[in-house]
Structure 1
Amino acid sequence: MNITFYKYQGTGNDFIMVDGREHSLGKDPVPTIKNLCHRKFGIGADGLILLKEKEGYDFEMIYHNADGSQSMCGNGARCAVAFARFLGMIRENAHFLAIDGPHLAEISGEWVALEMGKVNTIQGAGRDYFVNTGSPHHVRFVEELENYDVVGTGRKIRHDKDSYPEGTNVNFIKALDKNHIEVRTFERGVEDETLSCGTGVTACALVYGSQVGPNKVKIRTLGGNLEVTFVKSQSGSFENIILAGPAKQVFSGKISIAEMAGDKVNLR
């Protein structure tokens, strides 16, 4: 069976997009997703997203990491909004469902502003923190980021079973000035450094804001620039969290799912 796919990227975080109203990946989509996301044997992507109809919402986003696992993905959600507009499912505003619950978003040109879920607490002190922004994130402050061993250190923290039995994403953050930070991410499910991570930069912005004070933080990633704004309540929770940045369609094509399912590819 051939399916039509679209490739989107949001600050270098890239995704295979499929119209789930028209196509299905089968009862067990994980092997196919692994093969489609493989950068040598498939299309290549950090994850795959299906858009489906959902009563009470403009659409439902079904997100899979490159290894087939599911989680919330901020940049993926922003790309999903852009894809939904391309498909004619929305115009300038979206109300959609993701694995972590409902979300609102606005799109203008290639700029997508996504409302993230409320964050109740930030754990940690010193240079290491933990925050769940729809996906779990360990955040570490570092003084030098350009030559930092993101993959080696990130993999070690990600697989620390004592601290994170289910694993975690790992973000390394460097302050550039009062309202500007730089972030690099080792992403669970991709098992490598990615050029950007939406839930990750959101986690870093909240940690940085809680320590330094700004409620609007600009973030530089390897793949481009993002912005996060939020409101910190008197109880210490974070609300009205908005992740904003570009989301672009890169190309489209068709691929045979039957042929992909016959190949056994292991994600490194």
Structure 2
Amino acid sequence: MIDDRNESFPLDKHLFVSHLCDRRLGIGADGLILLRNHHDLDFRMIYFNADGREGSLCGNGGRCAVAFAYKLGMCGVTARFQATDGVHDAEVVRPDHIRLRMQPVSVVKRYEDHCILDTGSPHFCTFTSGLEEMDVYGSGRRIRYSEAYKEEGINVNFIQQEAENLFVRTYERGVENETYSCGTGVVASAICAALNDKTDKTAFRIRTLGGELSVSFRRTGPDTFDDIILEGPATFVFSGTLSK
């Protein structure tokens, strides 16, 4: 994440972004986020995928952006900010724990063994077993680059029921690999569980390789959901100065 309130970061330098995200030659990241001032809201969030292209919403990135904005004094314990999919409200439960309100979901495509929905980013969700040992990179890549999705790309979530909760692993477009945790992906996975009659719950604790997240929502119709909340940790790892 970069404090870009002076708007000096070059938005059109895609190779520069991908270089910064490179784990061998750059800093290393699954994506890059700029925080800029906004004329009406607390801040504006601009998100780039690791491949250097400006991306759709990153849910965990949104939570981290709020934590960073709070640290910078750009917002208080409540925040309202602009992202690519619209305006989001958030709450700083603690400086290292953020609750983010997502946009409503009103369009879902249901199939026999999977569902497709957009939670700020497009997601393919399917239930499976043996998820701990699964080749998520190989299986996810095959779906992401299949004829139906190869042009625009899609994030692929593999979901395993664990008692009353879920275990989710995600292959992310733009990163083109499995990531440790995908916020929009766990939201999509929780909604998919409700859609597929796996549970009548409207609140989930979701295990990912990167830790545990919480998702809650209100079901307003057969395929419509609002009051969608994504909640979890946002931990500062290190800080530094980037020179031109």
TM-score class normalised by the smaller sequence: over 0.9
Q: Structure 1 pair 37/227, CA: closer, same or farther in 2 (3 Å)? A: same
Say which structure is richer in strand. 1
Question: Which of the numbers 71, 75, 98 marks the counterpart of 2:56?
Answer: 71
Q: Which ranges of structure 2 fall in alignment gaps of 5 or more residues? A: none
Structure 1 contact 50–62 (Cα < 8 Å) conserved:
yes
The letter for the 1-side match of 2:85 is D
Give SS of 1:32's match. helix
Distance 1:18 1:94 in 2: 18
- Is the aligned partner of 1:229 residue 2:213? no
- Is the aligned partner of 1:107 residue 2:57? no
Structure 2 contact 7–36 (Cα < 8 Å) conserved:
no
Distance 1:239 1:231 in 2: 5
- Is the aligned partner of 1:255 residue 2:238? no
Deviation at 1:148, TM superposition (A): 0.8
Give SS of 2:242's match. strand
Distance 2:173 2:237 in 1: 24
- Identify the residue that residue 264 of structure 1 maps to in structure 2: none
Structure 1 contact 139–170 (Cα < 8 Å) conserved:
yes
- Identify the residue that residue 152 of structure 1 maps to in structure 2: 138
- Identify the residue that residue 242 of structure 1 maps to in structure 2: 229
Distance 1:60 1:132 in 2: 21
Question: Which of the numbers 73, 92, 116 marks the counterpart of 2:77?
Answer: 92
Alignment length (residue pairs)? 240
Deviation at 1:167, TM superposition (A): 0.9
- Is the aligned partner of 1:19 residue 2:3? yes
Structure 1 contact 127–142 (Cα < 8 Å) conserved:
no
Give SS of 2:52's match. coil
- Identify the residue that residue 30 of structure 1 maps to in structure 2: 14
The letter for the 2-side match of 1:227 is S
Equivalent residues in 2 for 1:30-69 (5 A)?
A: 30-69=14-53
Distance 2:217 2:160 in 1: 20
The letter for the 1-side match of 2:192 is V
User: 1:91-135 CA distances to partner (integer Å, 9 max, x unpaired)?
Assistant: 100010000000000012211010000100321233211111010
Q: Structure 1 pair 27/194, CA: closer, same or farther in 2 (3 Å)? A: closer
Higher RCO structure (Cα 8 Å, ≥6 apart): 1
The letter for the 1-side match of 2:157 is N
Deviation at 1:164, TM superposition (A): 5.5
Q: Which ranges of structure 1 fall in alignment gaps of 5 or more residues? A: 1-16, 258-268
Structure 1 contact 161–167 (Cα < 8 Å) conserved:
no
Question: Which of the numbers 184, 201, 207 marks the counterpart of 1:220?
Answer: 207
**Taking structure 2 as the reference length, what is the TM-score of the superposition?**
0.95
- Is the aligned partner of 1:200 residue 2:158? no
- Is the aligned partner of 1:182 residue 2:167? yes
Q: Structure 1 pair 177/27, CA: closer, same or farther in 2 (3 Å)? A: closer
Distance 2:142 2:136 in 1: 10
Structure 1 contact 25–32 (Cα < 8 Å) conserved:
no
Deviation at 1:161, TM superposition (A): 2.8
The letter for the 2-side match of 1:22 is N
Distance 2:113 2:35 in 1: 38
Distance 2:191 2:221 in 1: 15
Distance 2:140 2:221 in 1: 33
- Runs (4 or more) in structure 1 with deviation over 3 Å come to none
Q: Structure 1 pair 56/23, CA: closer, same or farther in 2 (3 Å)? A: closer
CA RMSD of aligned residues (A): 1.3
The letter for the 2-side match of 1:28 is D
Give SS of 2:217's match. strand
- Identify the residue that residue 138 of structure 1 maps to in structure 2: 124
Instruction: Single out whichever of 86-95 and 118-127 deviates more from structure 2.
Output: 118-127
Structure 1 contact 120–236 (Cα < 8 Å) conserved:
yes
Deviation at 1:56, TM superposition (A): 1.3
